[in-house]
Structure 1
Amino acid sequence: MSSPVKVLTVGSAVGSIKELFAKIKAIDAKHGKFDFTICVGDFFGAPKDATQDYTEDHELIQLLEGRLEAPMECYVMQGEHPLPPPVIEKFAKTGGVLSQNVFLLHKSGVLSTAQGIRIACLGGVYDSNLYTASETAHGFTSPYFTSQNVEKLLANTMTSSKPQERNYTSLASIASATTPSQLVDILITNAWPAGIAHLSSAPLPAPELSAIGVEPVGEVVRKTKPRYHFAAGGGHPPRFWEREPFLWEDENGRVSRFVSLGAFGGEQPSGKKQRWFYAFSIAPLSPTSDPPPKPANATQNPFLHRAPKRALAMDSGDDYRWGNQQQPGKRSRTDGPSDKPPPGYKCKICESADHFISECPDREKPHEGYICRVCNEPGHFVRDCPVKNAVGDTGGKKPREGYVCRACGSELHFIQDCPVANQTGGRQGGGRRAPPKPIAPDECWFCLSNPNLAKQLIVSIGTECYVTLPKGQIIPTHQGANHPNAPPVPGGGHVLIVPITHYPTYLSIPPDLADPILDETEKYKSALRALYAKHNAVAVCFEVGRISAKGGHAHVQVVPVPNKLRNAVEDAFREEGRALGVEWEEDADEALRACAGGRGSYFRVDLPDGRKMVHLIRERGPFSIQFGRQVLVSILGMADRFDWRACTQPEEEDREDAQAFKAAFLSFDPSLV
């Protein structure tokens, strides 16, 4: 076992940064030397109102400008508030280095410290209504985490990165950054995990804390099995509580400890101030490390021995209104959605006691031809639309298809809910908005320097571009792989060609830099056409070249289509385009020249016979970024594969597809010539 690492963990500073640093320095002088400090919870406190500015003498600005020094290496996280815009801007520029010795962990971040300690972080708070409704992972401008944040965190546990070591330039460097285990040494979250107090005899400082845990954090604990788990959201104000340790017998007797810290700054509970710091030593583990000694006060594992769910019905006596019956019309917490109604309930439509009103067979149905104006689907009224109350990526109402936020170019929120439009300092003199903040590498799904990139899907890296399988590709490879129109290309064959350098579109690449990128892209297209031909298929290539305020990352999607359907491709694009108002330019090359230099947005298709189709996307006009996929699934008769999220697979199956494609592409790969 390696030498122990001495760690200091502190609770929420809530903006009292200078005072906290002074306390850390004093603790280090008395009990150190510590190797680093982990700052759990709200380090910065709530951000200022959009009408207020951060002055030069504000502690946050002093920190970001290097005028407020940390006494040692400190890792900070997002707590229960959105992060202040100046912090987000600094994070975007540096990838997390806020100042010397102060590092901001990603909302779904995992890193290895210089001492070899793996730290995982899940920032933000939990809201059951937003957790599954949101279609994207929330960033620092939102106080919430979503299911996508949790998925990203668990995916990131399969990589190994250190601060300043996030540049991947080859498959070898990407492979070296992967790890076969999701286990982490330290997990920090704002929320408690569900069931953490189960099987514990350690008294809680407040009875309401027994019910504050959330299941998604519990799932992270079950997957990562942290040796130490620190949380900051133990009530309002936060209270200190340390649970007895528990073991994971299937991991060589691995020991986990959970500690919820009180806050250093902000509002304090009445009475004695809660303990806000925790010091401990931890040594990096290796596969040959001896099993740790079992702590004398260890309990059964609360995540393996789950607490039974409590029924809502009262059993301590008759209710004064309903006797010993449950109130009609209300379901118990343990009831499922198809349970029978409780005694006394009657459906308001047919007065039956056998079903709820939402399940009534006599409920009015729309007449034939009726289309819901919310989701544009038949079969239900607007009142019953399943996506009527869908939530956008920033917590507001989700826009209808085709809406584009004018501030940042997103299709996932209205402009009034846009963090770019509403960011501090977002308006300049005269009431004009400042330019929206561009996408940073840690936010871009295609930048190789992004630690969240799905590296297991990359199949080739050239000098200027790389090729990757997409998440949720159109061609089924495991479930549904026997579809009659699925080309037999190993691994599916639906790939993306992506320039390594970040440009929003291919036509926005500066002319003096464009030639080698364009040449290599065409070489990859030719190689893919040759591979597909070997499997009786042709290539359809398309690019959504949209210039947005935030700036995307250029890429071309290439999809194999069986030879028998090659003549249907052009007609399908024209027919689908006609229905959606997509008009095609008569001279495709002239249309592309008009967009050169980033002067306009476009949609380009390379047909199997080599001809091009181009649609010029109007500024602020409706255009679905899924149009290309929509046409391809129509051609292939795979309407059920329109939504890529419904086509995602377990990581193990993604790896199998990538390996199968790489093996088949090996003799065609231009990067190996």
Structure 2
Amino acid sequence: MSEKQKTLICGDVNGNFNILFSRVESIVKKSGAFDVLLCVGNFFGDDNSQLDAYRMRTRTVPVTTYVFGPSNSDHVNFYCEEGSEIAPNIIYMGKRGIFTTSADVKIAYLTGLSRRELGKDIPMCTFEPSDCSAVRDACFRGQSEYRGVDVLITTLWPAGIQQDETQKIDVEQDCLSDLIAWLAIHVKPRYHFVPSKEKFYERQPYRNQSIHQDYREGATRFIGLAPVGNKSKEKWIYACSLQPVTKMRMTDLLQATTDETPCPYDAEMLKQHQPGKVVKFTGNGQFFFNMDAQDDDSGKRKRKSGDNPERKRKEIDQDSCWFCLASPSVEKHLVICVGTHCYLALAKGPLVPYHVLILPIAHHQSVTKAPDEVIAEIKQFKSALKQFYSSLDKLVVFFERNFKTTHMQIQCVPVPRASSLQLLEVFQDEAGINSIQMEVLPPYADMKQVTLPGAPYFHAELPSGEQIYAKTPKHFPLQFGRDVLSSGPILNCEDKSDWRQCLLSKDEEDSYVASFREKFKPFDFTVDADSDSD
């Protein structure tokens, strides 16, 4: 495999599929095969009839094509499920995320329009500050030394990029976004592509900022591509050979060019998104929230000197607990089945469709504080789930985080059998990155003998039978278990590491629950328990 990935990028296609793929085919004949084609902006248009020939295979797509979006509400129904093919060799990637190609090129994307700028929400076509956070976090995940990403694709232009002294560029105000500027200065792409409504625009490279004044960062090339087949004959397709940023020599990555310019964004944005803070951006009055640190900050504000935090932790209002089954706050439609002491429920924002939780019916904080009869039924649920997942040709990882939680939750996540040998290594790598001291416990180790009741910990049970245990430090990452399992070697869905970023609609949740309940019937020991109680 070549060290560089030959890449084509185009602007708004707008349904002009024949023009696009004919041009790509001629480029391939002239310059040799290309690895990928990235479609920036609107792929569909008012008339999409040309796509029928590609779906029927009477015409072929010459290069594997990735489509993002949508950003037009009229086109929503044209898109398929994320990761599926719109037509042979045309793959829909969704509106946000990051993926790594077979050549190790990292491509991050956040498409659509800002809901805060529009003042309204258009399903699938808008993004929020939390989407920016999710993409940024996915770019950083798993990297002890962050160099940047190879490509960033956005629909909106980053505010400030138009302030170019070398050439005049007219960009409509509603195409500019402070949030995209924030994302760009944080993820440091080598190339940033956007669709341009009329003209082609290539800015001189700018040097990225660092929070350390004596540290030099790589440079970014910003390119706006005109619509495919535009009448003005403005450039709408761009070709480049990308060597992955992770494989570049630092001397090459940091090499300056004669036309290089300073970063067009305010360096203060690098300091924004501090733990627990709400940051107001200048310009369009947008706000950015660090949702992960909300508990930390609110806890510090409310705690007074002399308070006993352990005493307050015990004063739980069970009526407001999300997980006590008798509580009016529990989302009953997520419940799959109920035993004598525990119940099974669909996880909120599941990593995969069969990701569920084992929870005690009554209020117990953790496994280490639960009565023996609850522990016994948890083991029954685990045994039943192992058999169930095995029938789907899957293995299962169980994990519990007793840190900043009040009601015990055991996450049950099915994983591919092929990932079994990598699970322990990925857990250990993620622990190392986060400076977490992790121990591997022998099979059948009892958590009540490992740690004191009520002490915070993270615990996972792997398909091999090995158990992972870690005392949680003060700044333990709340999504640690999901970070590991969503990573490329395991489930390869890194944009789902935070459950709040992949919430389902109630209809989707109902569908997931019904499907799980039906397929779980042969393994559901609670049916007998239900009939005994009737």
The TM-score range, normalised by the shorter chain, is: 0.5 to 0.7
Give yes or no for the alignment of 1:258 onto 2:222. yes
Pairing 1:218-617 to 2, within 5 Å after superposition = 218-232=181-195, 234-235=196-197, 238-248=198-208, 250=210, 252-265=216-229, 268=230, 272-286=232-246, 289-292=249-252, 293-304=255-266, 472=294, 477-482=299-304, 484=307, 486-487=309-310, 505=333, 507-508=335-336, 521-522=358-359, 528-529=365-366, 531=368
Deviation, structure 1 residue 193: 1.1
Distance verdict in 2 for CA 1:181–1:509, change over 3 Å: farther
Deviation, structure 1 residue 100: 3.6
Task: Quote the residue 2:105 is aligned against.
Answer: 117
Distance verdict in 2 for CA 1:226–1:504, change over 3 Å: farther
In structure 1, C-alpha distance between the alignment counterparts of 2:158 and 2:405, rounded to whole Å:
47
Deviation, structure 1 residue 305: 7.4
The residue identity in structure 2 corresponding to 1:276 is: W
Q: Deviations over 1:102-128 (max 9, x none)?
A: 222221211111111111111112464
Of 157, 161, 168, 1:192 maps to 157
The residue identity in structure 1 corresponding to 2:127 is: F
In structure 2, C-alpha distance between the alignment counterparts of 1:288 and 1:335, rounded to whole Å:
36
Deviation, structure 1 residue 23: 1.4
- For the 8 Å contact 2:8–2:239, the answer to whether it is kept is yes
Give yes or no for the alignment of 1:91 onto 2:81. yes
Task: Quote the residue 2:501 is aligned against.
Answer: none
The residue identity in structure 1 corresponding to 2:149 is: V
The answer to which structure has the higher strand fraction is 2
Distance verdict in 2 for CA 1:284–1:298, change over 3 Å: same
Deviation, structure 1 residue 248: 2.4
Task: Quote the residue 2:395 is aligned against.
Answer: none
- For the 8 Å contact 2:110–2:132, the answer to whether it is kept is yes
- For the 8 Å contact 2:403–2:456, the answer to whether it is kept is no
In structure 2, C-alpha distance between the alignment counterparts of 1:119 and 1:84, rounded to whole Å:
23
Deviation, structure 1 residue 78: 1.6
Deviation, structure 1 residue 12: 1.1
The residue identity in structure 2 corresponding to 1:91 is: E
Q: Deviations over 1:35-59 (max 9, x none)?
A: 211111111125x8xxxxx8xxx34
In structure 1, C-alpha distance between the alignment counterparts of 2:38 and 2:404, rounded to whole Å:
49
* Structure 1 runs not aligned, ≥5 long: 49-53, 160-176, 307-333, 338-453, 458-469, 498-502, 535-555, 563-604, 607-654
The residue identity in structure 1 corresponding to 2:160 is: G
In structure 2, C-alpha distance between the alignment counterparts of 1:489 and 1:178, rounded to whole Å:
37
The residue identity in structure 2 corresponding to 1:157 is: C
- For the 8 Å contact 1:40–1:231, the answer to whether it is kept is yes
* Structure 2 runs not aligned, ≥5 long: 269-281, 325-330, 347-355, 372-399, 409-433, 439-446, 469-534
- For the 8 Å contact 2:403–2:457, the answer to whether it is kept is no
In structure 1, C-alpha distance between the alignment counterparts of 2:297 and 2:161, rounded to whole Å:
42
Q: Deviations over 1:235-271 (max 9, x none)?
A: 4xx2111111111264644111111111004xx46xx
TM-score (norm 2): 0.53
In structure 2, C-alpha distance between the alignment counterparts of 1:111 and 1:83, rounded to whole Å:
27
Distance verdict in 2 for CA 1:528–1:288, change over 3 Å: farther
- For the 8 Å contact 2:147–2:246, the answer to whether it is kept is no
* 3-state SS, counterpart of residue 256 of structure 1: strand
Task: Quote the residue 1:201 is aligned against.
Answer: 166
Task: Quote the residue 2:63 is aligned against.
Answer: 72
Deviation, structure 1 residue 68: 5.2
- For the 8 Å contact 1:40–1:79, the answer to whether it is kept is no
Task: Quote the residue 2:137 is aligned against.
Answer: 155
- For the 8 Å contact 1:487–1:561, the answer to whether it is kept is no
Give yes or no for the alignment of 1:15 onto 2:46. no
Distance verdict in 2 for CA 1:202–1:287, change over 3 Å: same
* 3-state SS, counterpart of residue 291 of structure 1: helix
The residue identity in structure 2 corresponding to 1:185 is: D
The residue identity in structure 1 corresponding to 2:91 is: F
* 3-state SS, counterpart of residue 91 of structure 1: coil
Distance verdict in 2 for CA 1:25–1:666, change over 3 Å: same
* 3-state SS, counterpart of residue 112 of structure 2: coil
Pairing 1:620-631 to 2, within 5 Å after superposition = none
Deviation, structure 1 residue 194: 0.9
Deviation, structure 1 residue 475: 10
Pairing 1:23-34 to 2, within 5 Å after superposition = 23-34=23-34
TM-score (norm 1): 0.43
Distance verdict in 2 for CA 1:336–1:669, change over 3 Å: closer
Deviation, structure 1 residue 515: 8.7
What percent identity do the matched residue pairs reach?
20
Give yes or no for the alignment of 1:216 onto 2:179. yes
- For the 8 Å contact 1:64–1:87, the answer to whether it is kept is no
* 3-state SS, counterpart of residue 257 of structure 1: strand
The residue identity in structure 2 corresponding to 1:296 is: T
Q: Deviations over 1:466-501 (max 9, x none)?
A: xxxx885599555545584744799x999979xxxx
The residue identity in structure 2 corresponding to 1:124 is: G
Task: Quote the residue 1:314 is aligned against.
Answer: none
Distance verdict in 2 for CA 1:560–1:61, change over 3 Å: same
* 3-state SS, counterpart of residue 28 of structure 2: helix
Distance verdict in 2 for CA 1:60–1:245, change over 3 Å: same
